Structure 1
Amino acid sequence: MFILKRQDVEITSVQPPKQERPIPILKYQGQVFRLVKVFPANQAEEAKEVWRKFTDEQGKACVLLEEPDRYSIWGRVRPEQLTEEAEGEDGTTLITQACLLLLQAVYVDIEDLLGARQAGAFQKELGDVLKQWRFPQADTPSAVTALLTTIDPLVPEQMPPWQEHHQTKLLEELYRIARSYFGNESFTERAVDTLQDLSKADRAQFIQWLSPPLAKLWAIS
């Protein structure tokens, strides 16, 4: 979307009451962006590559901020979303719950239909993706095992602190990996059925959150 300099933007923060750290906020031409990723100054090319992936490949509205000592990527958010988060009522946890329901359903499907060896390979491949994209609380094999088998998606307190770019990347990569195992999209219908475990209102909120490309991938409407 944009490559900006520090003098082009205003940087502030909001302090959610249930979190220790404030959320950095960038304002530019009436739009609001939240910090997604930071790179040291010597990783300029890597920062630009990741920024292009977000903008060109995923269609995200992002800015790349160039400063003397670092590069940072910021993703656009709705102002009301920040207000909700500051009040401790954001929908981030709900979206993660829905994502984990889909993830665990796919894993169980692979284990039941393709066997333990394929399930193990799936777990390793998923772990590599989570590590590459620096998912919080998902950077070790045991953490990945917990996501697949131990964590209860219906218990909000157990959810990892993922942000929107984590959730989007998970659904994209989960679809890609699962399709390589099954050879078709048959797994999507079975996985989506598990969303019935959510309340009707929560399902509607998750569906509203989905971008059109993601909704098309997972055949969710």
Structure 2
Amino acid sequence: MFILKRQDVEISSIQHPKRKQNIPILTYQGQSFRLISVFSDHQQEEAKAFWRELTDHRGKACVLLEETDRFSIWGKVSLEQLRAEESSNSAVSTYTKACILVLQAVYIDVEDLLGGRQAGLFQKDITNLFEKLKFPQADSPKAVKHWLNVDPLSNSSVPAWEEHHLITLLQELYRLGKEYFGNTNFAQGVRDILQDMPANDQNQFIDWLNQSALGQLWQ
């Protein structure tokens, strides 16, 4: 849709209609956009590729914002959409549980294949990622350690992450995995990672993955 500079837009936040959570909102020419994903300043090509995927292949109304230290993608939204989101909470909860399982699987692979020292560095990298991108309930080493070890399927409480958090997590986790392992084998066999989830939840998550370029990364 558009590639914009920071001076072109206004960024504010609003209270979610039904949750105790502030949502960043970008305003451009009277239209409102909600944060979908964030890329670091050296990921310009990845950001543009994901933006094109959303706009050209999925028909989403999105803007790509170029800032001094990052690139961010924002999707058009209305307050009516935010109010309707309450009905989709169960789906996002399922996606969150699946993403935690994927995160834990990569962490275990790092520990098993590369050793405890590398696992500690990986945990620090994840902590820095969550802190930088302001992931709810995951902004401290203690919180990250909890999500790396808890069983999300038996724990009724999952972090209040939204779809844009999950998309960013899977993108960054893929990037980190490539850095640690030097290949992408860790991203194969997602269904094996999710084998303890109910079949319907597995299918729902896989379908969600395949709606974007994430399905090409995690298979």
Alpha carbons 1:93, 1:156 under 8 Å: kept: no
TM-score (norm. length: structure 1): 0.68
Number of corresponding residues: 193
Alpha carbons 2:171, 2:214 under 8 Å: kept: yes
Specify the SS of the correspondent of 1:174.
Answer: helix
Task: Decide whether aligned partners of structure 1 residues 162 and 53 sit closer, same or farther in structure 2, where only a CA change above 3 A counts.
Answer: farther
Alpha carbons 2:96, 2:158 under 8 Å: kept: yes
Task: Decide whether aligned partners of structure 1 residues 33 and 92 sit closer, same or farther in structure 2, where only a CA change above 3 A counts.
Answer: farther
CA apart distance, 1:103: 0.2
CA apart distance, 1:214: 0.9
Output the amino acid matched with 1:100. Answer: I
Q: Which residue of the partner structure matches residue 137 of structure 1?
A: 137
Output the amino acid matched with 2:180. Answer: Y
CA apart distance, 1:141: 1.0
CA apart distance, 1:121: 0.8
Q: What is the CA deviation profile of residues 119-154 of structure 1, one whole-angstrom value per residue up to 9, with x for unaligned ones?
A: 0011111111111211111211111111111x3221
Q: How does 1:121-200 map to 2 (within 5 A)?
A: 121-149=121-149, 151-155=150-154, 157-189=156-188, 192-200=191-199
Unaligned runs of 5+ in 1: 7-11, 38-48, 66-71
Larger Rg: 1
Question: CA separation in 2, counterparts of 1:165 and 1:78?
Answer: 16
Which stretch has the larger CA shift, 198-207 or 117-126?
198-207
Q: What is the CA deviation profile of residues 187-207 of structure 1, one whole-angstrom value per residue up to 9, with x for unaligned ones?
A: 223554121222111112112
Alpha carbons 1:102, 1:192 under 8 Å: kept: no
Specify the SS of the correspondent of 2:176.
Answer: helix
Question: CA separation in 1, counterparts of 2:146 and 2:137?
Answer: 10
Question: CA separation in 1, counterparts of 2:132 and 2:207?
Answer: 28
Is residue 58 from structure 1 mapped to residue 50 from structure 2 by the alignment?
A: yes
TM-score (norm. length: structure 2): 0.68
Output the amino acid matched with 1:56. Answer: K
Output the amino acid matched with 1:109. Answer: D
Question: CA separation in 2, counterparts of 1:63 and 1:177?
Answer: 26
Unaligned runs of 5+ in 2: 55-60, 66-71
Question: CA separation in 2, counterparts of 1:136 and 1:126?
Answer: 14
